[in-house]
Amino acid sequence: MNRALPTLATALVLAALPACSSGQHASAPSAGAPDNTVIVFAAASLKKTFSQIGDQFRKDNPGASVEFSFAGSADLVTQLTQGAHADVFASADTKNMDKAAAAGLLAGQPVNFASNTLTIAVAPGNPKKINSFRDLTNPGVSVVACAPQVPCGAATQKVETASGVDLHPVSEESSVTDVLGKVTSGQADAGLVYVTDTAAAGDKVTSVPFPEASGAVNTYPIATLVQAKNPALAARFVDFVTGPTGQRILGQAGFGKP
């Protein structure tokens, strides 16, 4: 891509609000949520696993709730700096967490809880015969990627720089789920997503691993926010994510250790 990069103990859930895969809120969490509700802003790539974690919270701890809002990490930081209320922020990279810290949003040090690696998502059976990162530049291959300010986009740029391969995506998306959607809907031949995304998609796509991805692994941090209405409950959510149950669910989804 020839473009510039722009300038913790258990939480409980009665209901996890759904969020659409486009990176926009299906239903934005309420700023007037009661003190027994933890509002979690989380990277789009965490939607399936955090929803499962939420289900486990509800089973273990009836009485409190967690509301989720999933979107691209950069979009979430923008919403937070513009006044959106949340109690916990989980980013798909350290860069956007650092932005939240610089804006004075964090109540303490973030904790790394997972990592993720890029892969190439293609149509089932790989009809375009894409077998390498360089093959994404083959004539007649339409590629879609995350925008550079999004963690998956920054990782893609890092691979481009290291490999000397310059991609020319037909579109740049605000979240990794949008990239995957372009491939599953047939709007693009290939997309740069995380290994967890292709695993969750099942037979809707084929995953094409490439060795260069090992040089652009994203680390996921999570932190409580200064505006949390119930800091102890927010901290318990973070503890659950970083504890045995959360780590088991994340690992089963394909996330690596931080």
CATH code of the domain containing 121: 3.40.190.10
Q: What is the 3-state secondary structure (H, E, C) of the chain?
A: CCCCCCCCCCCCCCCCCCCCCCCCCCCCCCCCCCCCEEEEEEEHHHHHHHHHHHHHHHHHCECEEEEEEEECHHHHHHHHHCCCCCCEEECCCHHHHHHHHHCCCECCCCEEEEEECEEEEECCCCCCCCCCCHHHHCCCCCEEEECCCCHHHHHHHHHHHHHCCCCCCCEEECCHHHHHHHHHCCCCCEEEEEHHHHHHHHHHCEEECCHHHHHCCEEEEEEEECCCCCHHHHHHHHHHHHCHHHHHHHHHCCCECC
Residue 201 domain flag: yes
Range of the domain at 192: 116-215
Give the burial class of 232: count Cβ atoms within 10 A of its Cβ; 0-12 exposed, 13-18 middle, 19 or more buried: exposed
What's the pTM? 0.84
Asked whether residue 202 falls in the same domain as residue 228, the answer is no
pLDDT recorded at residue 54: 86
Residue 192 domain flag: yes
Asked whether residue 225 falls in the same domain as residue 105, the answer is yes
Q: What's the sign of the alpha-carbon dihedral 9, 248, 110, 33?
A: negative
pLDDT recorded at residue 59: 76
Asked whether residue 177 falls in the same domain as residue 247, the answer is no
pLDDT recorded at residue 8: 35
CB 76 within 8 A of CB 32: no
Distance (Å, rounded) from C-alpha 210 to C-alpha 246? Answer: 28
pLDDT recorded at residue 62: 78
Q: Which of 44, 75, 41, 54 is nearest to 178 (CA)?
A: 44
Asked whether residue 102 falls in the same domain as residue 65, the answer is yes
pLDDT recorded at residue 4: 42
Residue 28 domain flag: no
Confirm or deny that 174 is annotated as ligand binding: no
Confirm or deny that 73 is annotated as ligand binding: yes
Residue 4 domain flag: no
Asked whether residue 84 falls in the same domain as residue 196, the answer is no
pLDDT recorded at residue 31: 52
Asked whether residue 72 falls in the same domain as residue 156, the answer is no
Asked whether residue 188 falls in the same domain as residue 122, the answer is yes
Asked whether residue 65 falls in the same domain as residue 179, the answer is no
pLDDT string in tens for the chain (258-residue length): 544 434 333 333 333 333 333 333 333 455 556 678 999 999 999 999 999 998 887 777 778 789 999 999 999 999 999 999 999 999 999 999 999 999 999 999 999 999 999 999 999 999 999 999 999 999 999 999 999 999 999 999 999 999 999 999 999 999 999 999 999 999 999 999 999 999 999 999 999 999 999 999 999 999 999 999 999 999 999 999 999 999 999 999 999 999
CB 170 within 8 A of CB 143: yes
CB 207 within 8 A of CB 198: yes
Asked whether residue 211 falls in the same domain as residue 121, the answer is yes
Residue 9 domain flag: no
Question: Structurally, how many domains does the chain consist of?
Answer: 2
Asked whether residue 177 falls in the same domain as residue 204, the answer is yes
Q: Determine the Cα angle at 74 with ends 220 and 14, to 5°.
A: 65
Residue 30 domain flag: no
91's tokens? 């980013």
Q: Which of 188, 137, 189 is nearest to 165 (CA)?
A: 137
Asked whether residue 48 falls in the same domain as residue 163, the answer is no
pLDDT recorded at residue 94: 97
Residue 174 domain flag: yes
pLDDT recorded at residue 34: 64
